[in-house]
Chains A and B, each alone.
Chain A
Amino acid sequence: MSNRCLVATRKGLFTLDRGASKWSIGRVSFLGDNCTLVMHDPRNGELIAALNHGHFGIKMHRSRDGGETWGEIATPKYPEKPADYVPKGPPGSKPADWSLKLVWSLAPGGGDEPGVVWCGTLPGGLFKSENRGDSWELNRPLWDNPLREQWFGGGADHPGIHSICVDPRDARHVAIGVSCGGVWSTRDGGLTWQPPGRGMRAEYMPPEQQFEPNLQDPHIVVQCRANPEVLWVQHHNGIFKSTDAGASWNEITDVKPSAFGFVVAVHPQDANTAWFIPAVKDEKRYPMGGRVIVNRTRDGGKTFEALTRGLPQEHAYDLVFRHGLDVDETGNRLAFGSTTGSVWISEDGGDSWQTVSSNLPPVYAVRFEKAG
């Protein structure tokens, strides 16, 4: 089980360590800088952190010693836009700027492809490194797909790739989540891409477009390690599940207190067990009744139980962003961090929670260091 958890925040990267009796903040890296995402690579123990320096742009750093020292590595760079490029998007749409706006997802490649790291970005480019981040290459088959230019931003000014699920059985099988562009997948390592499957529903779209697969807004996509055909999605419009690797989707309805939220984590060994953190939909976005709860299903979404032990139950307005919840490789330890700087950890599958901090900067991402 994992004894270390990384928390990327608006003002730096915090390392949480499991002591003899409780979790506490250990190392702080990049203090004062905007750390938007962190990835731990279970194949070699390396860390990659994404920083947004605002005026100076997005930068990537890598550590080979668990975060003690860091060195800047290459940043994904969009290719030069041809001067005669004709946008293929819908009439009236604003073409994407071929320039990196945000690193929104990072995922190690398969165990049989050491060095491969995937990186999803705003404004919609998927990048791949084959040398642990020393260089990056834009995936052109996806970028050049005309359907890509139909994507649009969900809350952001640009569309983006926030989820990357690499199939543990076959690393050539990769699913990505796009806001707003549904869940795309490849079976050949990115040479060809299958557009999203049917079944998702976007209530906020005009009636005739509500089921259009390429316009959906999955907030996050997660994959069960032991059963990779099962994908769970916390969508802008509710909760969806696929049992055929995204070829089709079923909506989970009648979720109390709310089916709205940004996060989901799935148990690595049990595809029927997943955790959500509900919020008031969708223009207000705060915990229902000012109570922070974790919603857990153990039967594939038929029923949910609200887990509250150790979580604030009055006047708590902690929202959890899409990378703010994680589960370790055992399925017993979970951690999440909020927009108001609280971090909680559970060691019993969510039954009870301990507060690690209530005073961190706004949390963007929480990631356990996991065994390979």
Chain B
Amino acid sequence: MATVRFTRNIQRHVSCPTLDVAGGTLREVLENYFQTNEQVRGYVLDDQGRLRQHMVIFVDGDQVHDRDNLSDPVATGSVIDVLQALSGG
């Protein structure tokens, strides 16, 4: 199981509580999370299942490498942070 945490900024639009979910890759972990909360999917991934352009995910503090396929490995006990850059006026 890995722990998935979301930035507070996204919670203004959609509820996405911290959860422990199974999976050996980032894709598997996120799919399992979305199965419990499908509405969050579109806030994080685009139509083709890629990480949205201005979103970023850290796995145990390391920025995700494979933004399109989300194949980055996830270990038991990993912590996954889903964040975005705030910018603009």
Contact = CB atoms under 8 A, between A and B. Distances in A.
Interface of A: 53-57, 59, 72, 75, 77-81, 97-100
Tell which of A57, A59, A77, A78 has the most Cβ of chain B within 10 Å.
A57
Q: What is the predominant secondary structure among interface residues of chain A facing chain B? A: loop
Given A55-B55, A56-B52, A99 B43 contact: no
Contacts of B61: none
A317 B44 CA distance: 38
B48 A57 contact: no
Contacts of A75: 42
Contacts, number: 43
A338 to B, nearest CB: 18
B13 A98 contact: no
Nearest to B54: A55
Nearest to A80: B48
A77 B42 contact: yes
Looking at chain B, what size class is its interface with the partner chain? 10 to 19
A57 B46 contact: yes
Nearest to A58: B42
7 contacts: A55-B84, A57-B42, A57-B43, A75-B42, A78-B47, A98-B47, A98-B48
B64 interface: no
Contacts of B46: 57, 99-100
A57 B13 contact: no
A72 B54 contact: no
A55 B46 CA distance: 10
A75 B85 CA distance: 23
Contacts of B54: 54-55
Given A55-B85, A59-B13, A75-B42, 19 more contacts: A53-B43, A54-B54, A55-B54, A55-B55, A55-B84, A56-B13, A56-B43, A56-B44, A57-B42, A57-B46, A57-B52, A59-B42, A72-B39, A77-B47, A80-B48, A97-B48, A98-B48, A99-B46, A100-B47
Nearest to B53: A55
Tell which of B39, B42, B44 has the most Cβ of chain A within 10 Å.
B42
Interface in B43-75: 43-44, 46-50, 52, 54-55
A84 to B, nearest CB: 15
Contacts of B50: 99
Nearest to A32: B12
A100 B53 CA distance: 12
B52 A81 contact: no
Given A75-B42, A77-B42, A99 B55 contact: no
B48 A78 contact: yes
B52 A55 contact: yes
